[in-house]
Amino acid sequence: MTSTVYKRILLKLSGEALMGEDSYGINRIVIERIVAEIADVNQLGVQIAVVIGGGNIFRGMTSAGDGMDRANADYMGMLATVMNGLALQDAMRRAGLVSRVQSALRIDQVVEPYIRGKAIRYLEEGKVVIFVAGTGNPFFTTDTAAALRGMEMNVDIVLKATKVDGVYTSDPKTDPGAIRYHNLSFDEAISQNLKVMDATALTLCRDQKLPLNVFSIFKAGALKRVVMGNEEGTLVRV
């Protein structure tokens, strides 16, 4: 088995990453490709936890949600992450990966409730643990949930999987002169208001000295390269 730099990781997967080029929903080809990347890392013996967002599902309800109470909208978003978690688990099952879904909201007929000790045991058994429903509280993003669960699971690093291969000085889609950061401090990311994670998540990671890597999940082998310690994306640390 190949030696890896990180033994236990938390992968933050946005709901938008599951859409591919679709306007909303889940693209089957994309989710299968993401699962294949996760399977490659799982085969190295790396323990993998996943926090998944729900923007791809909730995006289809945007017009209906205009003017909605923020707390209610956030609870709907949490339910969207449950749907994504179940879809991800099913794709993992088809790929031969054993996974468990744990929810911060109680939906016992569908998924397990979040129990820290049980989640850690699953990781130690080599199962992928998928955390859904964010923190279970409105007004907190799934970025914050990723930082929180990462600390609770004692992971070595949080990996934020996006459509962009790192953090840039400006939007690389609109600015051809945008430069990618290879390394950043949390204080730099916060003070410069860089689009890494929300400020609460960055502060949590900074205070607990939990490193963060932002990379593109759509670059073949990128997740494995990060876990192996190769330069990939942008590394944010104290």
Domains: count for the chain = 1
Q: What is the mean pLDDT of residues 71-92?
A: 93
Residue 153 lies in a domain: yes
- pTM for the model stands at 0.93
Residue 2 lies in a domain: no
Binding residues, as ranges, are 12-15, 54-55, 59, 74, 135-142, 162, 168, 171
d(CA 171, CA 187): 20
Q: How far is CA 229 from CA 36, 197, 226, in A?
A: 19, 21, 5
- Residues 204, 208, 214, 220, Cα dihedral to 10°: -130
Tens of pLDDT, residue by residue over 3-56, are: 789 999 999 998 888 887 777 888 899 999 999 999 999 999 999 999 999 888
Binding residues for UMP, as ranges, are 54, 74, 135-142
Tens of pLDDT, residue by residue over 177-207, are: 889 999 999 999 999 988 889 999 999 999 9
Write out the residue range of the structural domain in which residue 13 sits: 8-237
d(CA 160, CA 219): 13
Binding residues for ATP, as ranges, are 12-15, 55, 59, 162, 168, 171
Say what percent of the chain tops pLDDT 70: 95
Residue 205 lies in a domain: yes
- Tokens representing 54 are 């729900």
Domain CATH for 214: 3.40.1160.10
Q: Which residue has 């929300």 as its token pair?
A: 198
pLDDT at 163 over 90: no
Residue 3 lies in a domain: no
Closest CA to 27 of 217, 226, 232: 217
